[in-house]
Amino acid sequence: MIMSYKVAVVGFGAVGKEIVRLLNQDVLPLESPPRILATRAREERLDGRTYQVLETADEHFTDVDIAIFAGSEGARGASVTFGWKAVENGAVVVDNSSDFRMDPKVPLVVPEVNFSAINPDHRFIANPNCSTIQMAMALAPIHRAVGLKRVIVSTYQAVSGWGTAAMNQLKSQVDDFEAGREIQVDSSIIARQIAFNVVPQIDRFQPNAFTKEEMKMVNETRKILGDPEILISATCVRVPVFRGHAEAVTVETKSPLTPEEARRLLAAADDEAKEGRYRSRLIVVDNPSDDVAPEERYPTPLDSDSTSHVYVGRIRQDPVFENGLSLWVVSDNLLKGAAFNAVQIAERMHLKGMIAGGRGAH
């Protein structure tokens, strides 16, 4: 019997749609088209096809082999209500919500970095925060080689990280601007005007005056890299970009590492990451010279749009530390930052025989 799976996707917002697109590309052997669940039953069109969206309920997980929770928008919190029951019913859950990422029983996984955190008993896997995934991809080879002591990151995050409503908000504000109308702001979506502005708040403020997004970058990065000693601080900023997060990262390493060595390390990490049909490459675009074509100098969010890769540039010795390095990391927040990473986790678990499968066929 050829192994094939019944897959449920929970959430059909910006991330959920990307998960369905990836599943439609045969990344996993599916017994039937993915079942799409969300807070509200409806019919939705995507890429010229019509999808029947069912209202999320326990009964829809009883025959499912893999449940991927998109964790965005309407489906927020769905894994709290339905995730562990799906596991009890025999499914493997990959959860893109933030609810269980720091749970010690739950592996938090970027496949290229720490797939080994998943052992055969794990049935519930957390997918990290978008801004964390791309930074972890870039820092992991450096951490392995010379150790990380301090990480200071400032982000430039696209509106799609906050879902379809935030993308529509940017679009409608740009429409207002072009039409010469007063720009309308719905602060329940993004606190301040985002068109032609930047907003240093992503998610809610915590008691320490950092935002939830900033603390995710701190705590999740430590968990993924398996090193609670790394000192990390983040400033997370929303910028008027639809898709693609960028990050300015400054690190202090434990031993010296030249920019040239860092470039070689990252390129080598890319070559190693060959497991699975679907993988994220770690691509160095770093030619800091005005004599090369602009698109070869460094990556920008536009370069990452709709790709599954993580791009690194602006690698340079940072004079603030004796062993200092600065870099610029870019990736599509909806793909490697969310949908692609989640599907990769499921794909690798499948390749390793960690998913029972075929339950629908019995």
Q: Which residues on neighbouring strands pair with residue 233, listed in sequence order?
A: 152
Interacting positions 59-78 with a second copy (CB under 8 A): none
Clarify whether 130 is annotated catalytic: yes
Radius of gyration of the chain (CA): 20
How many other CB atoms are found less than 10 A from the CB of residue 260? 10
Q: Does 28 bind a second copy (CB under 8 A)?
A: no
Clarify whether 362 is annotated catalytic: no
Residues 181-220, mask of contacts with a second copy (x by CB under 8 A): ------x---xxx--xxxxxx--xx--xxx-------x--
Look at phi and psi of residue 26 and say left if phi exceeds 0, alpha if psi is from -120 to 50, else beta: left
Residues 122-151, mask of contacts with a second copy (x by CB under 8 A): ----------------------------xx
Closest CA to 227 of 148, 154, 323: 148
Interacting positions 306-345 with a second copy (CB under 8 A): 313-321, 324, 326, 328
Interacting positions 226-245 with a second copy (CB under 8 A): 231-233, 235, 237, 239-242, 244
- Name which position in 97, 300, 307, 341 contacts a second copy (CB under 8 A): 300
How many other CB atoms are found less than 10 A from the CB of residue 105? 8
Q: Of these residues, 130, 143, 236, 309, which one is catalytic?
A: 130
Q: Does 175 bind a second copy (CB under 8 A)?
A: yes
Catalytic residue positions?
130, 245
Q: Point out which residues bind a second copy (CB under 8 A).
A: 150-152, 154, 156, 174-175, 177-178, 187, 191-193, 196-201, 204-205, 208-210, 218, 231-233, 235, 237, 239-242, 244, 246, 248, 250, 259, 288-290, 294-295, 297-298, 300-302, 313-321, 324, 326, 328
